[in-house]
Structure 1
Amino acid sequence: MNSFFVTGTDTDVGKTRIAASLLYLARQREMSTAAVKPVAAGCEQTAGGLRNDDALRLQGQCYPSLSYDAVNPVALEPAIAPHIAAQQLEQSLELGQLLRATRKTLATNADFALVEGAGGWRVPLNDDSTLADLAVHLNLPVILVVGVRLGCISHALLTAEAIVHDGLPIAGWVANVIDPSVSCCAENIDSLKARLPAPCLGVVPFCDKTDPADLAPFLQLPSLLDAL
């Protein structure tokens, strides 16, 4: 099984649309797929319970299909940092709880599986743990989504440094252009290619499209699998 942890240089850098597109590519290669977003904030009440748009997009690329709870075991309604949302709801986010739920879904032994974090690498779960601890305990190689905008080089290099410091390999990274007016876009990406300790899995241009079929042509799944 090829399993990876997906993180980003910040929140709103396109982790989910990249993750969903990679899952789509795996399905095109007739691979079974699974995804977990262990904790999601910014959920809406529905007839079926709390639902998060990002988790639903991941669920839509899982084959065989998975229940919503298997994809997103902890759903929080406030659209704020997960640990603050949990505090406001008088709930607790426990690393052990998230590990058990994530491992249960990964135990389906899909050919290709992704665990998507929330926000960046050091997002807190509680006073003692962060989502980085989840990745470390799962011992998963990391896919880094870089939101290409002003300041992205430092953000990307610092995130990569933290991942490596925590003992995990970076399997690859994706340049996702999120600012259409960013100066010297190509030069920024070239600088990242020269400095990040992992292969670039693709450059996704700025666009309003979110359908994985539209974004998949910009990504390279074989390069990711070869990184293992």
Structure 2
Amino acid sequence: MLNTLLITGTDTEAGKTVLTTALAAYWQKYYPQRSWGIMKPIQSGIGDREWYQKLFALEQSSEEITPLYFEAPLAPPIAAARENRQVDLALVWQAFSKLRSQRDFVLVEALGGLGSPVTDELTVADLAGEWRLPTVLVVPVRLGAIAQAVANVALARQSRINLKGIVLNCVQPRTDAEIADWTPQQLIRSLTNTPVLGCLPYLDNLTDLDKLAQIASDLDWETLTL
């Protein structure tokens, strides 16, 4: 069974945290006897780490969730430079490897999108490819989503990422017609040759873990875990 999954997106507001939260809620509800963990390997400013600590009873320290933290909410190489620090990927890899060895399943939420810089030389896509992380791409349901999906899948292939599939996400309330027109699943599959695992509806309450688990259960888990 899949034991590690990287959740990335087309950009910073695609809905990575929504999907990561839903997957965590699903794992917690349907696999209570198995251990799991969450990582936000690099975080700039207050955000996702604090969210996961608030929502879940994680048996992880702040450093185990986010081994590399910067104060300024900027791209890591810029935030690191402001603090006269380096983006120490060896530290991140060590923390990730330790957590993965201790847990049955680890969710890793990437920063930004696949093209977001991690260092002056590397992007999220480079890291996902080099670390051989099974990856899901979150594509927000909006005008232009098809082009974003095509471009990001091309980047994933260039970086030799093990891309398990695409998850569409309604970042705002969307009608069925808007979803069908802006993110037609058959067309996206045809253009990217990548499975579309499902579409997350807009949620106004991201603390409803039962609802999140139910939404996650509607995803194509058979394809995801192959």
TM tier relative to shorter chain: 0.7 to 0.9
Aligned residue for 2:220, secondary structure, equals helix
Q: Distance in 1 between matches of 2:23 and 2:156?
A: 21
TM-score by length of 1: 0.84
Q: Aligned residue for 2:50?
A: 56
Tell me if structure 1 keeps the 8 A contact 2:68–2:88. Answer: no
Alignment of 1:35-114 (within 5 A): 35-43=38-46, 53-59=47-53, 65-108=59-102, 110-114=103-107
Alignment partner of 2:110: what SS?
Answer: strand
Query: Is residue 161 from structure 1 mapped to residue 157 from structure 2 by the alignment?
Result: no
C-alpha RMSD of matched pairs (Å):
2.4
The verdict on how the C-alpha distance between 1:58 and 1:81 changes in structure 2, with shifts beyond 3 A counting, is same
Q: Using the alignment, how far apart are the partners of 1:66 and 1:135 within structure 2?
A: 23
Is 1:205 matched with 2:196? no
Contact kept? 1:35, 1:59, Cα under 8 Å: no
Alignment-derived partner of residue 24 in structure 1: 25
Deviation at 1:70, TM superposition (A): 0.4
The runs of at least 4 aligned residues of structure 1 exceeding 4 Å deviation read 59-64
TM-score, length-scaled by structure 2:
0.85
- Counterpart of 2:199 in 1: which secondary structure? strand
Corresponding residue to 1:217 among 182, 201, 214: 214
Once the two structures are superposed, what CA deviation does each residue of 1:35-92 show, in whole Å capped at 9, x if it has no partner?
111101122xxxxxxxxx3123334676762112101111112122222111112211
Contact 2:174–2:202 at 8 Å: present in 1 too? Answer: no
- Alignment gaps of 5+ in structure 1: 44-52
State the secondary structure of the residue aligned to 1:96: helix
Aligned to 1:50: none
- Provide structure 2 residue ranges, at least 5 long, that are not aligned to the other structure: none
Task: Flag the 1:222–1:61 CA change in 2: closer, same or farther, 3 A.
Answer: farther
Three-state SS of the structure 2 residue aligned to 1:121 is coil
Residue correspondences, number = 218
1:139 partner SS: coil
